[in-house]
């Protein structure tokens, strides 16, 4: 083998160094004068999201402000806050940020705990007249709360005006500060615009209780249980997070599978959901398994659905929802006996949450249908009555009180020994102003079960 002379070796080495310098220069220009991205700590994220973020980083246009901002949105939503700050710093080098990007930058800094620096960006928006002015005031107020500055927080939240998020946060703060009268005024103003706000009525009860207006407080608390509109104390940036989290990794496949189902392509939807569950690793989320099991059942693959639901059982334990779906899986496989056994398991879990009540309504209807096909009329009537009971509970919870009264009256005729139905009939009649009817129902409930505490409380309200 021929060896290079010392002179030839130096010449070759010089060429290599020159080539490396050229490559670095090209990279420098391509990246607008800055080196590669900081390392992202993605190990805590699901594998599918890790892959999507890595791909986004590899395809980043270093010379585009919009590309940096989009990357910062992803980083912020997934909690990669140092990376988000770096991306926003790079975006700001291209010139002035628009209002949305300014709010994003402030949010990133706020979540990093750099509250004073974040406030500069929020204040810029709050002092303007753009669409994010109110969101900026709310965020300023919430950050003052984090800094244990209640006076400043109150003043900022009051600047937000008639905004539901700001009013709820302000009312809670005023209650903590001992200004229940001011909190009550704020909540009543909100309720006039949002009469079905569960949280506003609930907090109104707290304010009235703090003012020693006990009867009014109980009435407000009671009324809140019939309201269905909920407001969470979050700014628009939380909505951005929710939108972003649906675009990547397992959630992206979940949304894709839904579109495939809408087009009637169930096989494609099943395959996409299987990919979605793979993307979740090493995490596990029940609604992904639930969705895949549902697709299998709809496709007549009951045993495959049952396998998915078995993993749900291992992770989350038993519930009415789980057993209903197990029953549906066996029903899809034309195994009615196994389906009924599962549905009977479901009705053992009698919860009070709206979703649980809806599940029980469906299960009793399914049992009634199957028993009717078998000609077992007596037990069919029993489950028909229980389905009416759950439907009446839904009407009562949704403030359709007259329909609830009709439903509970029908149930007490069909199942006269059912104490729960008598109790809810009493509450429903009370809500319509039928005090004597309520008294009769509560009394009958206690005759059936003398330890029924809520019925005793109902009678006490009538005294």
Please state the domain extents for the chain: 51-224, 246-349, 362-463
Token pair for 459 = 């009678």
Bridge partner list, 197: 229
Residues in the chain: 463
Token pair for 108 = 């990133």
State residue 282's pLDDT score.
77
State the SS3 of 134-163.
HHHHHHHHHHHHHCCCHHHHHHHHHHCCCC
State residue 31's pLDDT score.
47
The angle subtended at Cα 326 by Cα 320 and Cα 264, nearest 5°, is: 110
State residue 129's pLDDT score.
86
Q: Exposed/middle/buried for 109, CB within 10 Å: 0-12, 13-18, 19+?
A: buried
* pLDDT tens-digit profile, the chain (463 residues): 455 566 655 655 565 565 564 444 444 444 444 456 676 677 778 888 888 889 999 999 999 999 999 999 999 999 999 999 999 999 999 999 999 999 999 999 999 999 999 999 999 999 998 889 999 999 999 999 999 999 999 999 999 988 888 999 999 999 999 999 999 999 999 999 888 888 999 999 999 999 999 989 988 888 887 777 776 667 788 888 888 888 888 888 888 998 999 999 999 999 999 998 888 877 778 888 889 988 998 888 888 888 888 888 888 888 888 899 899 988 988 889 999 999 999 998 876 677 888 999 999 999 999 999 999 988 999 999 999 999 999 998 888 899 999 999 999 999 999 999 999 999 999 999 999 999 999 999 999 999 999 999 999 988 8
Same fold, 246-349 and 362-463: yes
- Residue position matching structure tokens 């909540």: 187
Q: Which CATH class is domain 362-463?
A: mainly alpha
In the three-class reduction of DSSP (H, G, I as helix; E, B as strand; rest coil), residue 430 is classed as: helix
| Cβ contact 339:327 at 8 Å | yes
State residue 29's pLDDT score.
44
Per-residue DSSP letters for 106-140? HHHHHHTT-HHHHHHHHHHHHTS-STTHHHHHHHH
The angle subtended at Cα 157 by Cα 154 and Cα 162, nearest 5°, is: 135
Q: Which CATH class is domain 51-224?
A: mainly alpha
State residue 32's pLDDT score.
46
Q: Exposed/middle/buried for 76, CB within 10 Å: 0-12, 13-18, 19+?
A: buried
Bridge partner list, 229: 197
Dihedral of the alpha carbons of 417, 422, 424, 425, in degrees to the nearest 10: 130
Residue range 246-349 in CATH 1.10.150.20: no
| Cβ contact 302:333 at 8 Å | yes
């Amino acid at each position: 083998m021929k060896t290079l002379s010392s002179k030839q070796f130096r010449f070759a080495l010089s060429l290599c160094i020159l080539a490396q310098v050229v490559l670095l220069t090209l990279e420098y220009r391509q990246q607008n004068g800055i080196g590669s991205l900081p390392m992202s700590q993605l190990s805590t994220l699901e594998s599918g999201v890790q892959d999507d973020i890595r791909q986004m980083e590899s395809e980043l246009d270093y010379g585009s402000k919009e590309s940096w901002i989009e990357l910062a949105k992803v980083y912020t939503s997934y909690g990669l806050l140092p990376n988000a700050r770096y991306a926003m710093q790079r975006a700001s080098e291209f010139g002035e940020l628009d209002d949305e990007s300014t709010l994003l930058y402030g949010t990133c800094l706020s979540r990093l705990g750099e509250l004073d620096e974040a406030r500069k960006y929020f204040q810029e928006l709050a002092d303007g007249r753009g669409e994010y002015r109110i969101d900026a005031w709310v965020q300023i107020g919430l950050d003052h709360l984090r800094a244990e500055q209640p006076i400043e927080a109150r003043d900022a939240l009051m600047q937000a005006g008639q905004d539901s998020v700001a009013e709820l946060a302000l009312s809670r703060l005023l209650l903590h500060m001992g200004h229940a009268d001011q909190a009550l005024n704020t909540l009543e103003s909100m309720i006039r615009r949002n009469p079905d706000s569960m949280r506003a009525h609930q907090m109104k009860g707290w304010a009235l209780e703090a003012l020693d207006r006990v009867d009014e407080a109980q009435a407000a608390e009671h009324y809140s249980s019939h309201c269905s509109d909920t407001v969470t104390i979050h700014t628009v940036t939380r909505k951005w997070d929710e939108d972003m989290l649906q675009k990547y990794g397992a959630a992206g496949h979940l949304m894709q599978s839904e579109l495939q189902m809408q087009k009637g392509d169930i096989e494609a939807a099943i395959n996409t959901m299987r990919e979605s569950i793979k993307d979740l690793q090493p995490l596990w989320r029940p609604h992904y398994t639930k969705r895949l099991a549902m697709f299998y059942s709809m496709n007549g693959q009951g045993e495959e659905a049952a396998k998915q639901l078995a993993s749900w059982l291992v992770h989350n334990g038993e519930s009415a929802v789980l057993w209903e779906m197990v029953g549906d899986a066996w029903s899809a496989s034309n195994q009615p006996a196994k389906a009924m056994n599962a549905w009977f398991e479901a009705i053992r879990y009698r919860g009070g949450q709206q979703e649980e009540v809806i599940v029980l309504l469906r299960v009793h209807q399914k049992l009634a249908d199957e028993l009717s096909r078998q000609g077992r009329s007596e037990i069919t009537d029993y489950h028909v009555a229980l389905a009416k009971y759950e439907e009446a509970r839904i009407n009562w919870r949704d403030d359709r009180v007259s329909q609830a009264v009709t439903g509970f009256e029908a149930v007490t005729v069909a199942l006269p020994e059912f104490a729960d139905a008598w109790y809810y009939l009493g509450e429903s009649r009370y809500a319509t102003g039928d005090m004597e009817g309520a008294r009769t129902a509560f009394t009958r409930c206690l005759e059936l079960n003398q330890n029924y505490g809520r019925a005793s409380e109902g009678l006490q309200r009538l005294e």
